[in-house]
Structure 1
Amino acid sequence: MNKISIVGGAGRVGETTAQILAEQELCREVALLDVNEGMSEGVALDIVQTSPFFKFDSRVVGSDDPSILAGSDLVVITAGQARKPGMSRSDVLEANVRVIDAVTDEIMTHAPDAMVLVVSNPVDTLTYRVAQRTGWDRRRIFGQAGVLDASRMAGFIAQETGFSVRDITTMVLGGHGDTMVPVSRFCTINGIPLSHFLPEERIAAIMERTRKGGAEILALRKNSSAYDAPGAAVATMIDAIVRNRRRLLPCVAILDGEYGEREIAMGVPCVLGWQGVEQVVELDLEPIERADFDRSAASVRADIERLREIS
């Protein structure tokens, strides 16, 4: 790609993402937009000064002027209010939907041909909002959640089993919140089912810890939610798109009949390639898994209904 922009680029997730994108040279230019005057320019300058160490030539720039988005191939939205200890992701909906609406309008004005990757919470609902507001092809609008949740689950499994995380594959579906659906049946260690190595109660504990993974970090840090793993998750999705890898990754996608759902965005397995979400993969869920998925969808729909009240 020629240019990737990050809205909220002076925030911790935005800055981490920008650093990885530059280091991996996933585009020629990384543009950081932030409402706080001078902050994105400072972040950009700091990242540029790491280039002699990491040997990258990507250009990194910052501004508080939305026109910096012009020419973007992809825009990452990390802007918005972060949750505090004890808050759910849905608790920041009212504040963040107003931010997202303003950001979406700026993207439509300055980068009408871009793809949009939503990171701000509640990510499922806000991804739906961006799609609704733009009216763009659903392949171009998607959110980051499942990649992060699946990585957390893989990390927990590696800690529990002692096996290399390189051999661990996980799958997490549903909304990015307490009702997310880690599907242990699709979790393997080098192709061998997880159930071969761990008893049912330990797997259940890992699934529950995965659901609370973000809250656990927030409670420990107290003054910050996670940003290292989220930034890496965003970069992983962008790598799949930029390099047209057609990777199968769990992402927030706009559903149009898949899993029996429409007019909703939530985490499902997607094929990511040059056009964005090139395919939504439907898994044959067992009754308990299906019930959990439906419960998660109902939670996302409740937030979507709140959008109408806020609007």
Structure 2
Amino acid sequence: MSDPRVIGAEAIEDARQRGRLIVEVMPGDIVTALAKETAERLGLKLVDGPVEMPAPVRTDGITSLRRVLYRRSPKWQAPSRTPRKARRLGKLALIGAGGVGGNIAHLAAMQDMAEEIALIDIAPGVAAATALDLNHTSGITGAGGRCIGGETLDMVGGAEVVVVTAGRARSPGMTRADLIDVNARVIRQAAEAIRSEAPNAVVIVVTNPLDEMTVEMLRATGFPRERVLGMAGTLDSSRFRNALAQAAGVSPADVDAITLGSHGDEMAPISSRATIKGRPLSVFLSDAQIEACVKDAITGGGQVVALKKSGSATIAPAHASIELINHMRGARTGHVPVSVMLQGEYGIDGVVLGVPAHLGQGGLVKVEELRLTEAENTALHAAAEAIRGRLGL
């Protein structure tokens, strides 16, 4: 038998990053109080060992080689992104029940991710009507969660997660920065209610301009950076993957790519780390095609605004918000791009920026610092300075 171990918080965080759901505690092992607290926060279980492990599947060399060659072939398919068993939220609150908020509520109800979903909107009857409409679907979906809707911000009371989508949307010709003054007032009103009625909630900001409004939410709530996140890179990365898949003629599931920086003209799609079927972009695309995909990701939101004439994207931002919540409740693992207040990571301090991060029950767990090219690192710092300038920091 091996010597007893001291299991600390670092071991728990390492297990989470490796995608594990349990931590085996052998007889004689010492588990620190901080490790127990960390495991509960991240949704990991401490299980008394020894845990009986399944016998390893033995594969002969010929079969292994065949699998490697198949993976390298053009017919290779990415592994299925099957959702993991996840923790169910007690209450999810949505401030704004319009296009984005309504779609988030729909997706959350379909996944049965919360016991209660509260929709709040200043437009009389809109939130209540959407909530009732969603409740009517339960006879088909079998979802057990209930939706409620109303016009008062005190309905955020008791929420574990609050998603803020309220605010004015862009019109053709407008940049996200044009919305700073008008939407900052909306954020401050929401923050006041969240601070008093849901003081332990994690806040996800979707209102544009997203990075600037995330800073405003941090200021107004006084919450630590771990509990105020901005949904940006998740959406921008999805647009980048879609553009790459279209250009290469493959399924988006075959593409792994991430976009960092600001949610605007200064966003930085990271081409150096992007892959198609596990291989560098240059295997499938020319430099000109890659540059066109980068431009498509940056202008993707504006393309939707130009087509709609009034309003901006609603479906993709809702899916991106759901992905962040799924990372927080353990349905997804690994890092995900999200806007957070940086404290020295990537050499940037005191500004909110989209970076890869690990999320848990309490929000931000850790910022993942990727190795970037000099040009990509320069673009990230340029985005930080642009946000500072717009906020007068």
Instruction: Pick the TM interval, shorter chain.
Output: over 0.9
Instruction: Compare the two structures and name the one with the higher helix fraction.
Output: 1
Q: 1:58-100 deviations in whole A, cap 9, x for unaligned?
A: 1111011222111100100000000101101000111000110
- For 1:298, the equivalent position in structure 2 comes to 385
Amino acid at match of 1:277: L
- For 1:207, the equivalent position in structure 2 comes to 294
Q: 1:244–1:273: 8 Å Cα contact kept in structure 2?
A: no
1:4 aligns with 2:92: yes
- For 2:111, the equivalent position in structure 1 comes to 24
What is the distance in 1 between the residues matched to 2:290 and 2:332? Answer: 31
Matched pairs, number: 305
What is the distance in 1 between the residues matched to 2:316 and 2:331? Answer: 22
Q: 1:8-52 deviations in whole A, cap 9, x for unaligned?
A: 12x100000000011001111110011112110011111112222
What is the distance in 2 between the residues matched to 1:245 and 1:154? Answer: 18
5 Å matches for 1:242-261? 242-243=329-330, 245-261=332-348
What is the distance in 2 between the residues matched to 1:164 and 1:261? Answer: 35
What is the distance in 2 between the residues matched to 1:299 and 1:290? Answer: 14
Q: 1:104–1:134: 8 Å Cα contact kept in structure 2?
A: yes
What is the distance in 2 between the residues matched to 1:247 and 1:125? Answer: 26
Amino acid at match of 1:67: D
Return the offset for 1:289.
1.1
Return the offset for 1:244.
6.0
5 Å matches for 1:171-190? 171-190=258-277
Q: 1:94-145 deviations in whole A, cap 9, x for unaligned?
A: 1000110111001011111111000001110111111122222211110101
Segment of structure 1 superposing worse, 274-283 or 87-96: 274-283
Return the offset for 1:158.
1.4
1:71 aligns with 2:158: yes
Bigger RCO (CA 8 Å, 6+ sep): 1
1:47 aligns with 2:134: yes
What is the distance in 2 between the residues matched to 1:207 and 1:244? Answer: 29
Structure 1 unaligned blocks of 5 or more: none
Structure 2 unaligned blocks of 5 or more: 1-88
Higher alpha-carbon Rg: 2
What is the distance in 2 between the residues matched to 1:217 and 1:82? Answer: 12
What is the distance in 1 between the residues matched to 2:256 and 2:359? Answer: 17
Return the offset for 1:304.
1.8
1:117 aligns with 2:204: yes
What is the distance in 2 between the residues matched to 1:225 and 1:268? Answer: 23
Q: TM-score, normalised by structure 2?
A: 0.76
Q: 2:272–2:373: 8 Å Cα contact kept in structure 1?
A: no
User: Tell me, what secondary structure is at the counterpart of 2:114?
Assistant: coil
Q: Which runs of 4+ in 1 moved over 4 A?
A: none
What is the distance in 1 between the residues matched to 2:294 and 2:302? Answer: 14
What is the distance in 1 between the residues matched to 2:267 and 2:322? Answer: 22
- For 2:147, the equivalent position in structure 1 comes to 60
Amino acid at match of 1:63: G
